């Protein structure tokens, strides 16, 4: 039969605005949470990670927030640029040393 693709959530933002990408996770035993960016035709690129004992971590133009109470992770991108257009994945890592990925969000930056 015909395969059905994942329905990727989409987010469109104006260039220069801030972007917030959300992710819900399921495994409360995960030690790390990671955000990846994947551009068309490329492999996922590491952006930032956060340990489970933290609730906020900042990088260059990016901030990750972790809310363990509701099992929610978010990635904030400041001053979004056209080069930020990509699919963003959250991933969780636990004792199994494997990454479990979310379904991804397609970010489009409008000129």
Partner 1 sequence: KAGVTQTPRYLIKTRGQQVTLSCSPISGHRSVSWYQQTPGQGLQFLFEYFSETQRNKGNFPGRFSGRQFSNSRSEMNVSTLELGDSALYLCASSGTGTGVEAFFGQGTRLTVV
Main-chain phi, psi angles of 68, to 5 degrees: -75, -25
Q: Which of 5, 29, 60, 70 binds partner 1 (CB under 8 A)?
A: 5
Half-sphere exposure of 88 (CA within 13 A, CB side): 27
For residues 44 and 68, what is the distance between their CA atoms, to the nearest angstrom? Answer: 25
Whether the CB-CB separation of 66 and 33 falls below 8 Å is answered with: yes
**Least distance (Å) from partner 1 to the CB of residue 84?**
18
Q: Which is nearer to partner 1, 15 or 31 (CB)?
A: 31
- Cα–Cα distance measured from residue 78 to residue 61, given in angstroms and rounded to the nearest whole number: 5
For position 1 contacting partner 1 by CB under 8 A, the verdict is no
Q: Are 33 and 22 in contact (CB under 8 A)?
A: no
For partner 1, the closer CB: 13 or 89: 89
Residues 7-66 that bind partner 1 (CB under 8 A): 31-32, 34, 36, 41-46, 49
Which one of 20, 24, 79, 96 is in contact with partner 1 (CB under 8 A)?
96
| Chain positions contacting partner 1, by CB under 8 A | 3-6, 31-32, 34, 36, 41-46, 49, 89, 91, 93, 96-104
């Amino acid at each position: 039969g015909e395969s059905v693709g994942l329905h990727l959530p989409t987010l469109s933002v104006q260039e220069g605005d801030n972007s917030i990408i959300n992710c819900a996770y399921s495994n409360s035993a995960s030690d790390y949470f990671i955000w990846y960016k994947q551009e068309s035709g490329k492999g996922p690129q590491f952006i930032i990670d956060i340990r489970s004992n933290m609730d906020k971590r900042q990088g260059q133009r990016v901030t990750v927030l972790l809310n363990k109470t509701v099992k929610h992770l978010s990635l904030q991108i400041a001053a979004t640029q056209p080069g930020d257009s990509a699919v963003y994945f959250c991933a969780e890592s636990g004792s199994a040393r494997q990454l479990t990925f979310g379904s991804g969000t397609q970010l489009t930056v409008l000129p």
